[in-house]
Amino acid sequence: MGKRKKNKAKTPRHRRQNCHGRLQAAPHWIPTFNGKNLVKGYSAHFGVDKMCAVNELEILGYSFNDEYKRKLKDALIQKQKQTKKQKAAEMRKNNEFVDEESNETFAFIAGYTSGGAHFGLTWEEWEQDEGNSNSKKDAVSNIDDENLPF
């Protein structure tokens, strides 16, 4: 029988380490670091965010200005907000319909019965309506808004 190949990890070991492993490896790595910004280099080498890098470097005995830590925290929060906005925009772009009032059965939940069951537009009805929407757009554009009852 042939030997089985081991599944080798594609991510380097120093990026797979947890906090304890990074704290043991960092004292050996720091003397070999040639860059200007230790926090940036640590975060890039070990695959952590800069706040985590600052916290772990402080554990190792390095000190950082409180203003620098505040700016890093603000930048991290800003990046998280930006990522959240981008994901929402991507969802809207892909689905063209993102609403909290939907689930796997209903594209739009109009309401709930007294027993708690949903009622509204199903995904099948939504897709059929999307196919017919191009012909309806021409008819709707001819309607005068002043004659509508609402």
> pLDDT by residue (tens digit) across 65-88?
999 999 999 999 999 999 988 887
For the chain, give the number of residues. 150
Instruction: Using 70 as the pLDDT threshold, list the residues of the chain that sit under it.
Output: 1-2, 95-101, 132-150
Give per-residue pLDDT as tens, 82-99: 998 888 778 777 765 545
pLDDT at 68: 94
pLDDT at 95: 66
What tokens were used for 77? 């929060």
* Strand segments (E) across 63-141: 106-112, 118-122
pLDDT at 35: 93
